[in-house]
Amino acid sequence: MVEELLTAGIAAAAGVAVYLGAAARVVKQYERGVVFRFGRLREGVRPPGLTMILPVADRLHKVNLQIVTLPIPAQEGITRDNVTVRVDAVVYFKVIDPASAIIAVEDYRFAVSQMAQTSLRSIIGKSDLDDLLSNREKLNQGLELMIDSPAMGWGVQIDRVEIKDVSLPETMKRSMARQAEADRERRARVINADAELQASHKLAQAAEVMSEQPAALQLRLLQTVIAVAAEKNSTLVLPFPVELLRFLERATPSGDPPHHPTPAPPPPAPPPDLTPQDPLPELDTPHPPALPPEP
């Protein structure tokens, strides 16, 4: 009798252990449990911890509530300004309604992925190339709204969308590089011209000051000579400064008339070479006849 009771107790304990093993489920902290009893959804979501279900009638589905990082494959499209680009992005989302994530959509991960690819292509077609390269924050917000609108009905919340990379053709890259180089050269020329303008103003002021004191220009010339001579790799030809002549001219007393050298008289011309000539022969000239006396 005692053996039969002991055997029955052991069998009952084994049955209870088997039942508990089949009915007990453990839900982790980052998961929530959704129970279907004979295919019908039971109200309420099972919290984390140990939970019990009917071994035959119930089916427990665990839904992960962690933020999912879903990369969007690179999508090729034509921008609004007719430039072919390839854009890839990443979507961060999480499940906020486990029951809707199980019932409303077959595979919420695949659904979010397809919706993200479609929205990314739509954003590429509506945007310019400059917006894709420089105004990504605005595009990220627009892309997030486009994905989040249908995802809310699936019990999924889009946490963030980021455009990772924009791939351009090689010809477009070279064109943009030339454009950037030309823009930098333009700015360099403008800065150089502005510097020349400021330097010209300063040089004009310096020339005005030096014109009042001629010796200042001579001192400046000597400073330039010192600066050039410090290199010791060139030959310096120093002309006689005109300013020094002006300085000496001003240093001459004003009362003394300037001394001008008198030119030497020209040498006397040599006497001509005269040769004696033979005397001319006397010519026989007839004498006039004598007049008769008056009566």
- State residue 275's pLDDT score: 45
CB 95 within 8 A of CB 66: no
295 is written with which tokens?
């009566």
Q: Indicate whether this model's pTM tops 0.85.
A: no
Gap between the Cα atoms of 200 and 5, Å rounded: 118
The closest alpha carbon to 166, from 140, 204, 203, belongs to 140
139 is written with which tokens?
């595009």
CB 29 within 8 A of CB 48: yes
- State residue 295's pLDDT score: 41
Q: Render each residue's pLDDT in the chain as its tens digit; 295 residues.
A: 677 777 777 878 877 777 777 788 888 999 999 999 888 888 888 899 888 888 888 888 999 999 999 999 998 888 888 888 999 999 999 999 999 999 989 899 999 999 999 999 999 988 888 888 888 888 888 888 899 888 888 999 999 999 988 888 888 888 888 988 999 999 999 999 999 999 999 888 888 887 787 777 777 777 877 777 777 777 766 666 666 667 667 776 655 555 545 555 555 555 554 444 444 444 444 444 445 555 4
| Buried-exposed string 56-85: b where 16+ CB fall within 10 A, e elsewhere | eeeeebbbebeebebebebbebebeeebeb
Helix or strand (DSSP H, E) at 219: helix 214-229
